[in-house]
A = this chain, B = another copy of it.
């Protein structure tokens, strides 16, 4: 491992002092960038892009060549694990992810096997190794996975859902089946993230995109408990280096205290929670990552700067803040606006670190 030239992200995640607040953006390698659209065109489709380590590396690095970001994030999809389980992930243009073979009954669940990350998901570990080498210590590389609950929703619904009728019918009628599936998924995510760490990522994030669709007690039982299990697995591992773990439940603003109890190092926040409130609720137990409304990037440069200032002010002085959007950057955003945001974070955060 080459020495990190910019370790702001890792320091902030460990709640150590930094010169300026580190910043990265969810989906920073994505459709708002013309160079990304060009590479994706070359790849033919989204899955080819994910599964080709050279192209995945290329798009991972693209935003870093444009912007002084403080981290790279592996270009991949949250649904690689169910795809490796044989569900057949594919994307219809403008439709979101779909599975050819969704989980429909007990037999389907019995057949689910924990994928071997070094064979079944080799394209991911290869991409991580390649990106690590290419980054050469410029900034840290972030690895990630979907949360077990979030993976399960797509696997049972067969794609995106507004109502989650199938998975929730299973949750209420056959919680035993859902738990069996979630155990397999939590084991899969644990070794998948461990393999990403062994291949070179320096922190990992668990995306619980759909945890916010649950009631508090269901969230605890079907989502948070399995994320906690993954955190414990990663922290207990004797073979894997211990890296900061970030949990992000979209719409989980009401459950931050419990999320912090998972043993994770940081919480990702969407924009519906004030950082000042979040900070007073979780204290110094975890760092906070977030949380500007991605729609701020539709505003004028002046307005973007003002909104960045508000978010920085909401966190206030002290350690443990990683600036990010509260959700992925939208495809229609002007890249110059992203540049304004990143520059504003670095410039305007300096006084908070003196």
Contact = CB atoms under 8 A, between A and B. Distances in A.
Interface string A306-336: 0100100000000000000000001010000
Interface string A192-228: 0000000000000000000010111111000000000
A271 interface: yes
A302 to B, nearest CB: 9
A204 B219 CA distance: 32
Contacts of A354: none
Contact of A254 (B169, B273, B299, B330): B273
A303 interface: yes
Given A215-B271, A215-B272, A295-B165, A251 B251 contact: yes
Contact of A251 (B165, B219, B272, B295): B272
Contacts of A49: none
Nearest to A292: B215
B172 A274 contact: no
A182 interface: no
Contact of A298 (B168, B218, B296, B332): B168
Nearest to A273: B254
A165 B254 contact: no
A103 to B, nearest CB: 16
Q: Is the interface of A mostly helix, strand, loop or mixed?
A: helix
Nearest to A326: B215
B214 A299 contact: no
B254 A295 contact: no
Contact of A307 (B172, B214, B219, B293): B172
By CB atoms of chain B within 10 A, which of A173, A215, A216, A307 has the most?
A215
Interface of A: 163-165, 168-169, 172-173, 212, 214-219, 251, 253-254, 271-274, 277, 293-296, 298-300, 303, 307, 310, 330, 332
Given A165-B298, A217-B274, 4 more contacts: A163-B294, A165-B330, A172-B303, A216-B273
10 contacts: A163-B295, A164-B295, A165-B295, A168-B298, A169-B295, A169-B298, A212-B272, A215-B271, A216-B273, A253-B253
